[in-house]
Structure 1
Amino acid sequence: MKKIFLSVSLLAAVALFSQEITLDKIYSGYYRGKSISGIASLKGGDSYVVIEPAGIAKYSYKTSQKEVNIVDGKFESYIFSSDESKILLLKESEPIYRHSYLGIFDVKDLRTGKMISLNNGNAVQEPTFSPDGNKVAFIADNNLYYQDLNSGKIIQITTDGKKNSILNGLADWVYEEEFGHAKLYEWTQNSDAIVFVKSDETEVPEMYIPIYGKQLYPSEMRFKYPKAGEKNSIVSAQLFRLDSGKTVALDLSDFKNYYIPNVIKTSKPDEIILITSARTQNASDVLKVNTKTGKIQKLFTETDEKWVDTDNVTMEFLPDNSFIWGSERDGNRHLYLYDENGKLKKQITKGNWEVTDYYGYNPKTYEVFVQTTEKGSINKVVSKININSGKSTLLSNAEGNNSANFSGNFNYFIETSSSASKPYTFVLKDNNGKAVKELQNNDELLKKLQADNLVTKEFFTIPNEVGDQMNAWILKPKDFDRNKKYPVFMYQYSGPGSQSVSNSWDAGNGLWFNHLVQKGYLVVCVDGRGTGFKGTKYKKSTYMNLGKYEIEDQIAAAKWLGKQSYVDASRIGIFGWSYGGYMASLALTKGADVFKTGIAVAPVTNWRYYDTVYTERFLRTPQENPKGYDENSPTEYAKLLKGKFLLIHGTADDNVHFQNSMEFAEALIQNKKQFEFMAYPDKNHGIFGGQTRPQLYQKMTDFLLENL
């Protein structure tokens, strides 16, 4: 026989273009989709802008045609002033934590063409135009400033800002991570005052992480990280008036004041809203600040016997200063209308479904525009609802995951849609939901995937032990045969209020799961108790017992799957990242008789090691609820490990610290348990950079092929 030798490059090309979904294709960009970046409506409602490679372009809603480039050049993001006469341009950025970053910004006057560097070209955080468009506030080195755009003069508001000590108008690590934003200041509507939160984190315990790099001695990353039950930043609300140049502390002593997660302006010129909370997070005061006098009025207190979602606030002030508020008080997240003094006028939305996003209110038609789960908990649709009659009109597709960006006058919106079987499309629609023009699709991507034998999710439900029907999806091989026995690989996240079973395009692990299906696995995902969009009873059932019911439901799902004729019950594995890694760790210990294999990436293994705001919201403090912390820690069950277990963590994870995996590894070692462990040097919670992700997913794939 004649031997044929193929070059390495030819072999790679053959692998890349074989008719299957491969890791090489996934990470080469071969399946990269198309999108529209930076969509925003201009105020008049006739035009919208997007970020393009050559600049920021203006398009007509009516014709969907490009009108002009507002700014030429390459920019990461932009913000318009209220009157749209100026634009704040982010030229380059450097990430800090999940939401925060340092940025170099310019301000362009769109009438004169004049360009001004913000802060003399030095990096800043969280810049914001004053409502009159003449000033920009920003934070530098933990101090709050504003720059007068007419004179160029920079005014320093605070002087005591210091790293790991005092922050002015800026969230500390735990506020940013768990309340979902880094900015903690706001201008008044008349631009004459700023209310900001000062955080004193001096007494917060410090976390330090070694950074190895390519240096002789490792350096250290040090930051304040309050672990459950430990001291948080001491926060205070401050009022700065531009006319006097003075800052005064606002007296919150009569109100809940442990946390101040939100600062919001009203429709009136001299008012700011503060939303405050006790440490328990089961009650939030909504406070109105008069910025002329400093007087504070409590509008109402939002309460819940378990917790209030202080990280997911919906509050918009209407022209008459009445406001719309989002609440879970009737068992589902809905909208409520209040007058300006905090008196409830009516519940706007009702039903056994949830409002998942709020887009705005049209005072001419008395309609609110929202995203909801009206068409089932795995779908998200866009609707308009008349606040007087309660009439709801569906504007988007009835299935899939649909979101909207509305024009300023609500005459048009750009719908972004996907489903489990169709990647993102961008369609321009009118305010009755009629399609005007498709702006972008991903048909080319879908054709590539279909040519490579893509399989799509089938949705169904699985019962748990208390009778709940848990949402689930399954991926089956193209040549699926019910008479064969298949190994099952389960994926989940399972954290409070999360959702992994959704009728949406999976641009994350979806292609890897398809790769595994082509290797002969069934891939299944189940949303058990504690997950979201099925009402508060289901979501909050895990209160004070994180991990207990979630792992019971994953074990119940695995047992149910094992009873199906086409499943090999002796070959069930599980995978998760972060909270999902915590669950995978419990599955291989508490569920050792059910799961043969598990992969835990960046897992929490002891809730005592995680942050205050998140952990205490669901468990209270360790001092109040020690059993809730210890009885569902994987380290307590290390002796039960039976199956093949792969533990993975980045050494520079600022969120779920490497310490979690170190403790679990030690517990497994002391119980003479064999397992595999992979540490990613200097990588954070996302474990990415360079060739890291391809290596990680190849490692997990090889582990599964060998052990499941």
Structure 2
Amino acid sequence: MTPRTQLSFPRQYARTQRYTLGAPRSFAVSPDGSRIVFIRSVSGTDRSGLLWVLDLDGESARERVAADPRVLLGGSDEELSAEEHARRERAREQLAGIVAHAVDGSAELAAFTLSGRLFTAGLRADGTARELPVPGPAVDPRPSPDGRHIAYAARGALRVVGADGAGDRALAEPEDEYVAHGTAEFVAAEEMGRTRGFWWSPDSDRLLVTRVDDRAVRRWWISDPAHPDREPRRIAYPVAGTPNAEVRLFLLGLDGGRVEVVWDRERHPYLARVHWSDGGAPLLLVQARDQRTQRCLTVDTETGETRTVHADEDPLWLDLFPGAPVWGPGGRLTRIADEGGARVLAVGDRALTGAQLQVRAVLDAGGDDVLVTASAGEEADAPEIGEVHVYRVGDRGAERISQGPGVHTAVRSGGVTVLTSARPGPGGTEYRVLREGLPPVAVRSLSERPVLTARPVLREAGVRRIPCAVLLPSEYRESDGPLPVLMDPYGGPRTRRVLAARDPYLASQWFADQGFAVVVADGRGTPGRSPAWEKAVKGDYSVILDDQIDALHALAGSFPFDLGRVGIRGWSFGGYLAARAVLRRPDVFHAGVAGAPATDLRLYDTHYQERYLGDPAELPEVYTANSLVTEDGLVAVENPARPLMIIHGMADDNVVVAHSLRLSAALTAAGRAHEVLPLSGVTHMTPQEQVAENLLLLQLGFLKRSLGV
């Protein structure tokens, strides 16, 4: 690889937003199978999403633009409200323009926002896009199933307007600044995967609407030290062990009716899931604060009373899953559950899958079967390291519909399935429309082709068979001798890094091409293996670092590792892991780059941290043992110092910069040299092109200096 190519990858990686620009996403399928609706920018470097329609007619297909933000805004730049900024940060959304849309029941009408203004687009061939004159800034607009109304949130109110722009009115308004209707509170959006706050009835005559009161939630201030003339931004952040927002749910009729939905909110305060379809009564999934018990409830839409249809308990914690619970085939309750040591799909009273599959999400439960994603379980016939497949599951068993290595997911309606397949080869991700009896139709991706080729070798390492990927320099020869090692993990719960796909390894390959052997390892705590594998971290994050070390040493017998020069880099939980590695195990790790690390775990949010470590008031010793610093300083100061670079966005409202500042202060008090890279105006994401590009180069320079590369 030439020096020019080496320098071009960080720029391309940043400019393409990690090769996501130009890729189709957010698919919706019309029930009659004639239209596929999606979002895509016009090139691999353009950041503005357009709304597209793919018209299907027999074996032919034709793309057209349904809404172009440049046209609708008259060429002016977007201006985002504070509510929209927060929504995008929770969703890790980096695209501009049209970033989300919702469609009516027949997929003939779409709604979306631009600069807080509400727009609709007709999705048939003769449809047009137009703005509806409503008070803003509008957030999360959603058409009613019959397409006659649009509901949206604005300034704490839940409002409804006719699809023709007439009759705008508030169905619920906030009593004061602490109350908001129709939006998800922080922990729901950040940790539970519930980004919505209202749901239409199948008959389009009423909605289920959340009422969030966050007056009891602790207030934090996010300042911008680079601009001392600006006021700090106040946010409601529920720190572990402190009060959450109060969440209630109401049935609001278009005729002005209002009925509160009643359940035992003292025992089960978390509203984790809401599902309302023509398959049955509204379904709620509510959780206890300690997440060890949960109830699936049905709602009486006349009285608001609820009834338990299923209850779950777990001595450690209960996970939440995308798309479940729902009403499935035959009107039976469909859910994902941990049974017999496996994560199974249960329909009614039966588990339809077993220990060979680890079910991850319900994609569609209409018709006679259920569409799910799953990875190979611990009892699978052969390991499929990093693969995730789409299965059609019915009473007669599971049938795989995705083929070949990769990470697959799908959207289905009626007889049409849009299959997204992220492949490990140089071709990247494929998007195909599958229909019975007809050849597949490709949806074009306009994303750029990377300037390098990732060559991960996937292995299981050590006695625990830890999934790993190893990347060596593209031009490495055995005569080159052993290489310094760079561990490149996330490592924490709910996120896998070892995947049978191309894009997750591009940055890792670039580091490898600079002269490193790069190792990505998914130890205990990461998803996709078994419930026991994930829950082994309860109360003790040390096993996560143990598995990184075990993987490193197990692989060293097969790969050219110089174990005298081992670095580690990571972001978020991976940043915590990198800092922990050099502080707790300097005998193994000789340098670390910690990006946005959570260092004092009492400063992170309730739903995440209490799930794994419990209540800090009841278990202070657990938080002390797992944190890197406390208010009193560094937890472990007796170990030899190793070079450490700490990187943090000053505007981060998820892992606030106080984490890194406390770590730096404790290191300074202990007389330990370290580097701190503050990123002005940067949040937990790094969407800014120059920042994203130079972060790679700065990390590389630090690691080379520290490891003598």
2:364 maps to which residue?
A: 360
Once residues 592 and 359 of structure 1 are traced to their aligned partners in structure 2, the CA distance between those partners, rounded to angstroms, is 44
Aligned to 2:650: 651
Structure 1 Cα separation of the partners of residues 559 and 391 of structure 2: 42
CA distance in 1, matches of 2:448, 2:617: 56
Q: Is the 8 A contact 1:106 1:117 kept in 2?
A: yes
> Quick one: which of 236, 239, 249 aligns to 1:227?
239
The more displaced of 693-702 and 191-200 is: 191-200
Match of 1:588, SS state, is: helix
- For residue 244 of structure 2, give the secondary structure of its aligned residue in structure 1: coil
Provide the residue aligned with 1:337 in structure 2: 347
Q: Is the 8 A contact 2:409 2:420 kept in 1?
A: yes
Looking at structure 2, the residues matched to 415 and 39 of structure 1 have their Cα atoms a distance apart, in angstroms, of: 10
Shift in Å, 1:412: 4.7
> In structure 2, what is the equivalent of residue 5 of structure 1?
none
Query: Greater CA deviation, 633-642 or 177-186?
Result: 633-642
**Partners in 2 of 1:317 and 1:140 — Cα distance?**
31
Judge conservation of contact 1:266–1:321 (CA < 8 Å) in 2.
Answer: no
* Residue of structure 2 equivalent to 1:382: 390
Using the alignment, how far apart are the partners of 2:698 and 2:519 within structure 1? 20
Which residue pairs with 1:153 in the alignment? 167
Q: Secondary structure at the match of 1:333?
A: strand
User: Any gaps of 5 or more consecutive residues in structure 2?
Assistant: 43-49, 71-96, 377-382, 630-634
**Cα–Cα, structure 1 residues 224 and 469, in superposed 2: closer, same or farther, change >3 Å?**
same
* Conservation of the 8 A alpha-carbon contact between 2:455 and 2:471: yes
User: One-letter code of the match for 2:701?
Assistant: D
2:489 equivalent among 484, 487, 492: 492
The answer to whether 1:123 aligns with 2:137 is yes
CA distance in 1, matches of 2:213, 2:447: 52
Aligned to 2:352: 348
Select the residue among 488, 507, 518 that pairs with 1:512.
507
- 1:691 counterpart residue number: 690
Q: Determine if the alignment matches structure 1 residue 548 to structure 2 residue 542.
A: yes
Residue in 2 aligned with 1:203?
216
**What is the identity, as a one-letter code, of the residue corresponding to 1:380?**
V
Q: Does the alignment pair 1:395 with 2:405?
A: no
TM alignment of 1:79-478, pairs within 5 A = 79-90=102-113, 92-93=114-115, 102=116, 104-106=118-120, 108=122, 117-118=131-132, 120=134, 122-149=136-163, 152-160=166-174, 162-163=176-177, 165-212=178-225, 215=227, 217-243=229-255, 245-253=256-264, 256-267=267-278, 271-310=281-320, 312=322, 314-318=324-328, 320-338=330-348, 344=349, 346-361=350-365, 363=367, 366-374=368-376, 376-385=384-393, 387-390=394-397, 392-406=398-412, 408-419=413-424, 422-431=427-436, 436-440=440-444, 445=449, 448-449=451-452, 454-463=453-462, 467-478=463-474
Q: Distance in 2 between matches of 1:121 and 1:591?
A: 56
The one-letter code of the counterpart of 1:81 is D
Measured in 2, the distance between the counterparts of 1:268 and 1:383 equals: 21
The Cα shift of 1:420 comes to 5.6
Structure 2 distance, partners of 1:353, 1:286, is: 24
Distance 1:377 1:64, change over 3 A: farther
User: Cα gap change, 1:67/1:600 in structure 2, threshold over 3 Å: closer, same or farther?
Assistant: closer
Q: Does 1:40 align with 2:40?
A: no
Structure 1 position 288, deviation (Å):
0.9
CA contact (8 A) 2:160 2:168 kept: yes
Pair 1:440–1:70, CA change in 2 (3 A): closer
**Cα distance, 1:641–1:675 mapped onto 2, change above 3 Å:** farther
471 and 202 in structure 1: CA distance in 2 versus 1, 3 angstrom threshold: same
CA RMSD in angstroms, aligned pairs only: 2.9
Q: In 2 relative to 1, CA 73–700 (structure 1 residues): closer, same or farther, beyond 3 Å?
A: closer
- 1:404–1:580 distance in 2 versus 1, CA, 3 Å: same
- Inter-CA distance 354–629: structure 2 relative to 1 (3 Å threshold): same
Q: d(CA) in 2 for partners of 1:45 and 1:259?
A: 37
Deviation at 1:193, TM superposition (A): 2.4
Contact 1:559/1:594 (8 A) holds in 2: no
Task: Give the CA deviation at 1:679.
Answer: 0.6
Return the alpha-carbon distance in structure 1 between the equivalents of residues 435 and 107 of structure 2.
Answer: 23
1:583-594 paired onto structure 2 within 5 Å: 583-594=577-588
How far did 1:29 drift? 5.0
Aligned to 2:598: 604
**SS state of the match for residue 622, structure 1?**
coil
Measured at CA, do residues 377 and 27 of structure 1 come closer, stay the same or move farther in structure 2, by a change above 3 Å? closer
Rg comparison, structure with higher value: 1
Matched AA of 1:23: P
Q: How far apart are the structure 1 equivalents of 2:334 and 2:57?
A: 28
Superposed displacement of residue 707, structure 1: 1.2
Instruction: Letter of the 1:323 partner, please give it.
Output: L
The structural deviation recorded for 1:362 is 5.2
For the 8 Å contact 1:357–1:370, the answer to whether it is kept is yes
Q: TM-score, normalised by structure 2?
A: 0.86
The CA deviation string for residues 289-315 of structure 1, in whole angstroms up to 9 with x for no partner, is 111122221111122221111364512
Question: Structure 2 CA distance, aligned partners of 1:402 and 1:652?
Answer: 34
Higher relative contact order (CA 8 A, sep 6+): 2
Q: Residues of 1 paired with 2:406 and 2:101: CA distance? A: 30
Distance (Å, rounded) in 1 between the aligned partners of 2:628 and 2:669: 14
1:381-407 CA deviation, whole Å, 9 max, x = no partner? 22223x2222x332222312122233x
Whole-Å separation in 1 of the counterparts to 2:399 and 2:207: 39
Q: 3-state DSSP class of the match of 1:528?
A: coil
Shift of 1:619: 1.2
* Aligned residues with identical type, % of pairs: 23
TM-score (norm 1): 0.86
Letter in 1 for 2:196: K
Separation in 2 of the partners of 1:523 and 1:615?
A: 29
Distance in 2 between the 1:201 and 1:254 partners?
A: 15
CA distance change for structure 1 residues 267 and 424 in 2, over 3 Å: closer, same or farther?
A: same
Secondary structure, counterpart of 1:699 in structure 2 = helix
Cα shift readout 1:364-393 (whole Å, capped 9, x = no counterpart): xx33222221462511122223x2222x33
Q: CA deviation at 1:37?
A: 4.2
Asked if structure 2 preserves the Cα contact closer than 8 Å seen for 1:131 and 1:187, the reply is: yes
Judged with a 3 Å threshold, the aligned counterparts in structure 2 of structure 1 residues 673 and 303 are, in CA distance, closer, same or farther, namely: same
Task: Tell me the SS of whatever aligns to 1:123.
Answer: coil
**What is the rounded CA distance, in whole Å, between the counterparts of 2:118 and 2:615 in structure 1?**
40
The count of aligned residue pairs is: 658
**What CA distance in whole angstroms lies between the structure 2 residues aligned with 1:55 and 1:182?**
21
Give the 3 Å change call, closer, same or farther, for CA 43–511 of structure 1 in structure 2.
same
Deviation at 1:560, TM superposition (A): 3.7
The equivalent of 1:98 in structure 2 is: none
Give SS of 2:654's match. coil
Q: Which amino acid aligns with 1:520?
A: G
Q: Distance in 1 between matches of 2:172 and 2:221?
A: 27
Shift, 1:422, TM fit: 4.2
Letter in 1 for 2:666: A
Structure 2 counterpart of 1:97: none
Letter in 2 for 1:87: A
> Cα distance, 1:110 vs. partner?
5.7
Tell me the distance in 2 between the aligned counterparts of 1:565 and 1:112: 60
Q: Return the offset for 1:207.
A: 0.8
d(CA) in 1 for partners of 2:33, 2:445:
24
* Contact persistence 2:184–2:197 (CA under 8 A): yes
Distance in 1 (CA, whole Å) between partners of 2:642 and 2:469 is 25
